[in-house]
């Protein structure tokens, strides 16, 4: 099949989950023998309209960023222009849309150009926007924020409703899509997020990973890697950590990631006098993620909202590191398969502290620790890997075409 992936992010540099899913999906489908190309919005710093990765070409269309209206109009117009260029040379069998704005122009103006259209829902666009932008006191700003939120919801609903199938990464996201956009459950396919178990794997020696990152060997290290935004629950994690330190002074918390809360988190760390036991290490490049997981005794997901899947969970489990998370989004779906003890009772600091205390006590038993490590790794190898993800996606594309031919 000739498959085109449409996205608002680039697969060239992996910054977060959206880029990681896009890249691995493209590479996985190509390994299955399909001809894959990407059409993405050009990054602000992009200097070329095409790059190539492992034989896969990513085409980039420029947009006008002067103001919102110009941005939207240029996104729609340019995406259709570049879409036409690509299909002029090769007919398209399938199009997979990763973000709604990237697919809006092509599916409205060129829906006839491909036999199968799939929308891959990482998370709901309007909910992401809502959590990333705090309410304001200004009436005009509040009205503008509401209009932005509704616009994102409308665009995503319009794109989803025109696709033959919608793919979600978790049962949680299936329910959110049905509730938000009224998509029939028969049109929604669940294909979980994944990890490369050959790239993310347990360390032969944990102290070697710690030496690479300049982390101490005489500490129990907790690690989290998040966008530093309110919905990630990092302030509650710091509160939980403050509660634990008096009884467990050998703990250390490492927080990876960048975002608007960085200065605020630094101030909280200073006020709580945690600067000697908490490190903010900033953006963690993909090449170092494996080392951080391997160096840690426990990975923490303290999310307050959303969490449509949570790639961090399966990446850590693949590295043989247990994960503790809050009962939010898809977190319980994954962690309950390893052990329900890994899911906290709530999202507040005290609930997280109690859960950490229980899990850390369990990890002191070498046999129990080995069991959690083995169950987590086996779960990834059995269910949460890119080979299986891409195989299921390819089968869905085939079945969608068969259903259309039958109709």
- Residues 251, 356, single domain; the answer is yes
Q: Are residues 303 and 315 in the same domain?
A: yes
CATH number, domain at 70?
A: 3.40.50.2000
285 domain residue, yes or no: yes
Same domain (yes/no): 178, 36: yes
Q: Is residue 124 part of a domain?
A: yes
Q: Is 199 part of any domain?
A: no
**Residue 114 and residue 64 share a domain:** yes
- Together in a domain, 187 and 242: no
Residue in this structure with the two tokens 């949570």, named with its chain if needed: 310
Residues 210 and 94 in one domain: no
| Pair 178, 292 in one domain | no
- Candidates 161, 162, 5, 15; CA nearest to 79 is 5
Check residue 33 and give its pLDDT.
95
Give the residue from 305, 308, 370, 383 showing the smallest Cα distance to 339.
370
Whether residues 166 and 284 share a domain: the answer is: no
Per the structure, the count of domains in the chain is 2
What integer pLDDT is reported at residue 133 of this predicted model?
A: 62
Residue 96 to residues 164, 249, 336, Cα–Cα distance (Å): 10, 49, 31
Do residues 181 and 241 share a domain?
no
Tokens found for residue 249: 């002074």
Q: What does pTM read for this prediction?
A: 0.91
333: in domain? yes
* 377 shares its domain with 390: no
Domain that holds residue 361: 206-382
Q: How far apart are the first and last CA of the chain?
A: 20
Q: What is the pLDDT of residue 126?
A: 84
Does 201 fall in a domain?
no
Residues 259 and 300 in one domain: yes
pLDDT given for residue 406 in this prediction: 44
Residue-by-residue DSSP string for 245-296: TTT-TTEEEEEE--STTHHHHHHHHHHTT-TTTEEEEE---HHHHHHHHHH-
350 inside domain: yes
Q: Are residues 372 and 225 in the same domain?
A: yes
Residues of the chain scoring pLDDT < 70: 133-137, 400-407
């Amino acid at each position: 099949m000739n498959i085109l992936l449409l996205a608002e992010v680039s697969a060239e540099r992996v910054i977060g989950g959206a880029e990681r899913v896009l890249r691995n999906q493209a590479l996985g489908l190509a390994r299955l023998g399909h001809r894959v190309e990407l059409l993405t919005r050009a990054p602000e710093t992009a200097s070329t309209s095409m790059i190539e990765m492992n034989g896969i070409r990513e085409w980039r269309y420029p947009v006008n960023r002067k103001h919102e209206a110009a941005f939207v109009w240029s996104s729609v117009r340019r995406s259709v222009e570049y879409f036409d260029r690509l299909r002029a040379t090769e007919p398209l069998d399938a199009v997979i849309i990763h973000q709604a704005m990237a697919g809006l122009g092509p599916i409205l103006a060129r829906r006839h150009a491909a036999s199968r259209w799939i929308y891959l829902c990482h998370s709901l666009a309007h909910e992401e926007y809502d959590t990333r932008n705090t309410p304001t006191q200004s009436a005009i700003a509040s009205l503008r924020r509401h209009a932005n939120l509704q616009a994102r919801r409308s665009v995503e609903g319009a794109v989803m409703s025109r696709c033959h199938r919608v793919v979600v990464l978790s049962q949680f996201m299936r329910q959110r899509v049905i509730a938000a956009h009224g998509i029939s459950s028969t049109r929604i396919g669940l294909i979980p997020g994944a990890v490369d178990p050959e790239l993310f794997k347990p360390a032969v020696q944990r102290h070697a990973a710690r030496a690479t990152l300049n982390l101490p060997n005489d500490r129990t290290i907790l690690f989290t890697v998040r966008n530093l935004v309110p919905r990630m629950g990092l302030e509650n994690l710091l509160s939980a950590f403050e509660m634990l330190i008096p009884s467990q002074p050998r703990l250390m918390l490492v927080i990876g990631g960048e975002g608007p809360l960085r200065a605020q988190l630094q101030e909280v760390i200073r006020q709580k006098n945690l600067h000697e036991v908490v490190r903010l290490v900033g953006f963690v490049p993909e090449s170092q993620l494996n080392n951080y997981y391997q160096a840690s005794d426990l990975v923490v997901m303290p999310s307050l909202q959303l969490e449509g899947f949570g790639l961090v969970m399966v990446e850590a489990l693949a590295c043989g590191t247990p994960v503790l998370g809050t009962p939010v989004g898809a977190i319980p779906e994954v962690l309950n398969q390893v052990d329900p003890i890994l899911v906290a009772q709530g999202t507040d600091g005290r609930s997280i502290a109690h859960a950490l205390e229980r899990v850390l006590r369990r990890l002191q038993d070498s046999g129990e620790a080995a069991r959690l490590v083995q169950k987590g790794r086996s779960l990834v190898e059995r269910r949460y890997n890119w080979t299986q993800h891409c195989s299921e996606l390819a089968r869905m594309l085939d079945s969608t075409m068969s259903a259309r031919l039958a109709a």
